[in-house]
Amino acid sequence: MNFRGRIKATFFIPLLITVVIVGLARINPPIIDEFIETLLTVYRFKIRNIISPPPVPDNIVIVSVDEKSLTEYGRWPWRRKLQADLIEKVFQGDPKAVAVDVFYPEPESPDADKSLADVLNKYRDRVVVALGFEVEQEKYFDGELSDMLFDQAAARIENFGRMRAIDAFRVLVPPEPIAGSAPFGHVYSLADRNGILIWENMYIKYSDEYFLSLAIKTAALARGVDFDRIRILAGQGIDFDGVFIPSDEFGRLHINYFGKERSFTYKSAADILSGRVGSEFFKDKVVIIGTSAIATYDLKNTPFSANMPGVEKNATVVANILGRNFMKRADLYLDLIIIILVGFAAMIIGREGRALHSFIYYFIIVLFIVFANQLLFTFGGTRFNLVYPLLTILSNGTFIISYRYLIEEKKAREIRKMFSSYVTERVVNELIKNPEMAKLGGERREVTVLFSDISGFTSFSEKHSPEEVVSTLNEYLSAMTDVVFRWEGTLDKFIGDAIVAFWGAPLEQKNHAELAVRCALNMIKRLGELQTEWEAKGKVPLNIGIGLNTGEVLVGNIGAEGKKMDYTVIGDQVNIGARVESLTRKFKTDILMTELPLNEIYDLVQSSKIGHVSIKGVGKVVVKGKEKPVKIYEIKSLDESENSVIEECKDEAIIYMTEK
């Protein structure tokens, strides 16, 4: 696939993914919202409490029927005269408001019910009692309401067309005289599909009327607000006495939990009944009376605990309202904007960079999303959706990284196939890591070329069997290839007995001339070792000539695409290198080079960094088509006891190269 094709794939596929996720976020299926997003909310609550735990109000007290109370006063439910006594003792302390989170669905006895009703009626301006509603999918109540229920219904509703409250089909109406003795508030709560309770239903529908929650009415009593002044703003929230309680489209408040169970002040009902806790403790406090013993089965699964008493959940909601400490859910359009921005960032990353770089960038974006989301949750009290931005970046990232990996793997195979026979494994790996360094389409580079040829090879071939010729040639070429690779050269090709190599491509090598010269000297040294071995075996030793030249050439992948391609160099400077090699026989020497590589290594020789070499000018040559002559130098190794020597060309006759 060409570059333009890759750009299209890494742009349009992420764009499509982002559009799909935007649509998914708009629908927001419950399986995502109430499973994954709620689970992420749990962790955000826990992290918030590590970073900045919210202060728990000390003016809200829970009076609980706990295990101690059951031990001292018997199993639950208690006699109503005993409950009436408990409520009376609490009110003797002059609290601001009392919520009784207990159902009374059946009569006990006329005297018992009257005792409880009398206490509730006595403090009806500061007490609210729980009212039980039953909810079942697709079951509704369409009959007429009793006068008691009608009097308890919300009086002020605005934006009625946007009402989407949960619909109950049954209510557990208390018996007379309890039914008319006090205001009531519903305590129905529905956990998300993963069982965690995140929302408070601020009102619930029964028949054609709407009933406020126990927590809402308790908060209103604490602020001295008449229930008739509470306004339901459908789809927005609830407003009373300057307090606005935000809700979602279903009339639900996002509960802002303070921590695990018993975050609030608890007092045992047994201690109050026995006088171990004085009534004065409740002065100006908001008191919620309920059960916390495990045997009472009123436990909720919250972000901090799987065993939070329902009475503490109600206390939490009351505290949220009175302290205006709300956890707001971000508007849908803000979540969609974030998804689009994240998708746009994914597309930008997808248009450039390698798979590893893309992975790092995506990882950074994931960290930023999580970090920013947590900051807004902790310090802004706003819950932005976390699932869909993460899904956007992870989906796009997975596609782009996988796509890039496949493309890069394909490119790596191409590079390995192309260069494995030309250069060392180290160079191949470097090219795979940095494929931009190997411009296969061709480019101009300054390189140093080396041509090597066996002297008299035709005569040698005629005098020996084909098997012996091939064996000797393979041994020679293998040894010389090792030397070329040792000096990090690129093996261009074998032309019969000739070797062509170059330095300066595909990797840039600033010291390409030095490496080529050292390689040529090493080749002659290695040839001497081979000659000794051949003579010991009774074989005829071979001699070679080497030519070096430096200059700008065209280097690249050249040939018939899809059939035969070679990474090679072409140009005048390459031709000059080949002609220089042919002059080794004329000047009866092993290595010749032009003045161009000499200029590159001159200072190295002078400073003895290339030591023990003799460089002597042997003449000047003019290449066909050129006017300016090129100086030719012989180079050979000296004993370690001898110092390097450089001698310039003498003013001798100029040699004209008539071959191209």
Whether residue 626 has pLDDT greater than 70? no
| 200-250 pLDDT tens trace | 999 999 999 999 999 999 999 999 999 999 999 998 999 998 889 999 989
* pLDDT number for residue 340: 95
Q: Please give the pLDDT value at position 95.
A: 97
pLDDT of residue 508: 82
Alpha-carbon span 252 to 198, nearest angstrom = 9
| pLDDT at residue 418 greater than cutoff 60 | no
The DSSP element (H or E) to which 443 belongs, if any, is strand 443-455
Q: pLDDT (tens digit, 9 = 90+) per residue, 535-548? A: 888 888 889 999 99
Neighbours of 626 (CB within 10 A): 13
Q: What is the pLDDT of residues 147-182, one digit of tens each?
A: 899 999 999 999 888 889 999 999 999 999 999 899
pLDDT of the residue at 252: 94
pLDDT band of 352, cuts 50, 70, 90: low
CATH 3.40.190.10 matches 436-657? no
Q: What is the pLDDT of the chain when averaged over all its residues?
A: 88
Q: Look up residue 458 and give its two tokens.
A: 């035709």
- Give the model's confidence band at 311: pLDDT under 50 very low, under 70 low, under 90 confident, else very high: very high
Name the more confident of 9 and 129: 129
Q: Tell me, what amino acid is at 252? A: R
| Per-domain boundaries in the chain | 3-46+330-413, 55-324, 436-657
- Give the residue with greater pLDDT, 587 vs 404: 587
Mean pLDDT, rounded, for 373-380: 96
Q: Which residue has the higher pLDDT, 504 or 130?
A: 130
Rg value, the chain, Cα = 45
Q: 243-246 and 237-240 as β-strands: parallel, antiparallel, unpaired? A: antiparallel
pLDDT classification of 3: cutoffs 50, 70, 90: very low
438-447 pLDDT per residue, tens? 555 567 889 9
Burial class, 330, CB count within 10 angstroms (exposed 0-12 / middle 13-18 / buried 19+): middle
In this predicted structure, the answer to whether residue 185 has a pLDDT above a threshold of 90 is yes
| More confident site: 167 or 351 | 167
Tokens 């989170």 belong to 101
Average pLDDT, stretch 505-517? 88
Own/partner pairs, 626-633, CB within 8 angstroms, 24+ separation: 626/572, 629/654, 630/576, 630/594, 630/595, 630/596, 631/594, 631/595, 631/598, 632/580, 632/583, 632/587, 632/592, 632/593, 632/594, 632/595, 633/592, 633/593, 633/594, 633/595, 633/598
Distance CA 599, CA 314 (A): 89
Asked whether the predicted pLDDT for residue 660 surpasses 50, the reply is no
Structure confidence at residue 561 (pLDDT) = 58
pLDDT at 492 over 60: yes
Percent of the chain at pLDDT exceeding 90? 59
The residue among 152 and 657 whose pLDDT is bigger is 152
